């Protein structure tokens, strides 16, 4: 079995919320790689970055993606998971949706009080750098690109289900 739908996109694009909505509507489980990593490590992602570094987090994330892809359901990936070439290769053959969002909207959703380690400092600048560098990778793995700007999770889910 393999996931029905995999959601990718930058932080603040709405992956977890939309994945939850889709899973409820389809009556399938929702898995999230950030949650899986935190459960496996027994500590929050921000602590993993501080104590063990980003490279260690990426290793845990790589394993979490592989494990989650063995199961049926809806899977939301951490925003940087697609940086790993093995992850990108494993996504081939799955229905991958890139949740697109403008910089302003993403920065607003993530907020100044973010606990995301890669966005500390100037959220808007860090976010722009991440989005510019990763856009080609999100586009590479995705079969469908859906904008989430100014839209409810229900509306975004409707569009995805119409194109499934």
Binding site for ligand S3P (CB under 6 A): 11, 15, 34, 45, 78-80, 116-118, 130
CA 50 to chain centre: 21
Is the CB of 110 or the CB of 160 nearer to ligand S3P? 110
20 is an annotated ligand-binding site residue: no
Q: Which residue has the tokens 């494990």?
A: 67
* Least spacing, CB of residue 76 vs ligand S3P, in Å: 7
Tell whether 31 is in a known binding site: no
The CB-of-132 to ligand S3P minimum distance in angstroms stands at 13
Query: Cβ of residue 42: shortest distance to ligand S3P, in angstroms?
Result: 16
β-pairing verdict for 30-32 and 5-8:
unpaired
* Dist CA 141 CA 108 (whole Å): 26
When the beta carbons of 26 and 118 are compared against ligand S3P, the nearer one is 118
Radius of gyration of the chain from Cα atoms? 15
Residue 87 counted as an annotated binding residue: no
Comparing CB distances to ligand S3P, the nearer of 99 and 160 is 99
Residue 19 or residue 160: which is nearer to ligand S3P going by CB? 19
Report whether 13 belongs to an annotated binding site: yes
Q: What is the DSSP string of 24-54?
A: HHHT--EEEHHHHHHHHHTS-HHHHHHHH-H
How far, in whole angstroms, is CA 79 from its chain's centroid?
4
- CB–CB of 103/10 below 8 Å? no
Q: Is 12 annotated as a binding residue?
A: yes
Q: Which residues are annotated as a binding site for substrate?
A: 34, 58, 79, 134
Q: Which residues are annotated as a binding site?
A: 12-17, 34, 58, 79, 116, 134, 151
């Amino acid at each position: 079995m393999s996931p029905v739908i995999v959601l990718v996109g930058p932080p603040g694009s709405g992956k977890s919320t939309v994945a939850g909505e889709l899973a409820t509507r389809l009556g399938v489980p929702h898995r999230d790689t950030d949650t899986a990593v935190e459960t496996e490590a027994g500590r929050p992602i921000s602590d993993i970055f501080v104590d063990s570094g980003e490279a260690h987090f990426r290793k845990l994330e790589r394993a979490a993606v592989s494990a989650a892809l063995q199961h049926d359901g809806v899977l939301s990936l951490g925003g940087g998971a697609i940086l790993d070439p093995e992850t990108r290769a494993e996504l081939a053959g799955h229905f991958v949706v890139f949740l697109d969002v403008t910089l302003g909207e993403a920065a607003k959703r993530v907020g100044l009080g973010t606990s995301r380690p890669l966005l500390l400092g100037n959220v808007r600048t860090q976010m722009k750098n991440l989005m510019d560098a990763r856009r080609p990778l999100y586009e590479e793995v995705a079969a469908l690109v859906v904008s989430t700007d100014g839209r409810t999770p229900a509306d975004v889910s409707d569009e995805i289900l119409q194109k499934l």
